[in-house]
Structure 1
Amino acid sequence: MRELILLRHAHAEPAGTGQADLDRPLSQTGLAEAEAAGKWLAENELLPDCVVCSPSRRTRETLEAVLGKTGFVEKMLEDQIYEATPGVLTGVIDRRWDVDRLLVVGHNPGLEQLVAFLTEGTSSDYRGMPPAGVAVLSFEGESTLEPGAATLTQFWWP
């Protein structure tokens, strides 16, 4: 069985005057949420083999806090994850479909729409994914990233 873990970044500070959205840091609340997400992943033995992460500061800081609890794994920044649609996210994931457990750290609405697409077969029927929310999707055997091919096995948020 292959697993895909989707992690939305934790709460971030609002953009300051002249500050790009990409440069928004985590708030203190967000840092605590990210650490809690990492602790939950570690306690449930959901340790990724590889991580792909949006280049935004808030996603990178979320990832670092998570890895502080789960331990180091191969990680890479992927520009396409920022403001990605489910289709773009599927392409990013497909390029790393060689690993057994992949963690993707990104943004809404793309992540919550991707959960709906992979589990329900449509991206229009999404239910939301709070900051630092974690969705764990399982794929049987050699399943591909097709609409409705995944089962949502766990969902957690702080």
Structure 2
Amino acid sequence: MTSSISARVAELGLALEPAAGPAANYVPYVQQGELLTIAGQISRKGGKAAFVGRVGDTLTEQEGVEAARLAGLSVLSQIAAAAGDRLDRVARIVRLGVFVACTPDFTRQSSVANGASDLMVDVFGDAGRHARAAVGVASLPQGVAVEVEAVVALRP
């Protein structure tokens, strides 16, 4: 059985990039007791912002889903950094907050957010099922289309 987060992600044909450092005056994650809070993570590929633009304008809904999946991979990189890359340390993904840069008339933020949500279930099974908020915003850091934050329950 797979014992690391990175190995489970590799089984899905994906790869974790190194966990990104903070872009301003904050830390990428905070653990308080059994709860791990992951700061907002953007979609990155090769260490650079990916899927720059707004869904419903320069990007399609499907591109938004892919951006959410990449941002979800960035969340997983932070979880792996905090949990020593141990899959068994993750008791549950408690909550995801998904922010979608989109046009005012775009109303399928929840569909875009499924890119990150589906990834969590693919990696953690039932423990990846979570509560979620998906909201549309005017813009996001570095001009990306999606940012994802998370709350995770860890085992000791």
TM-score scaled to structure 1, two decimals? 0.30
* Greater strand share, structure number: 2
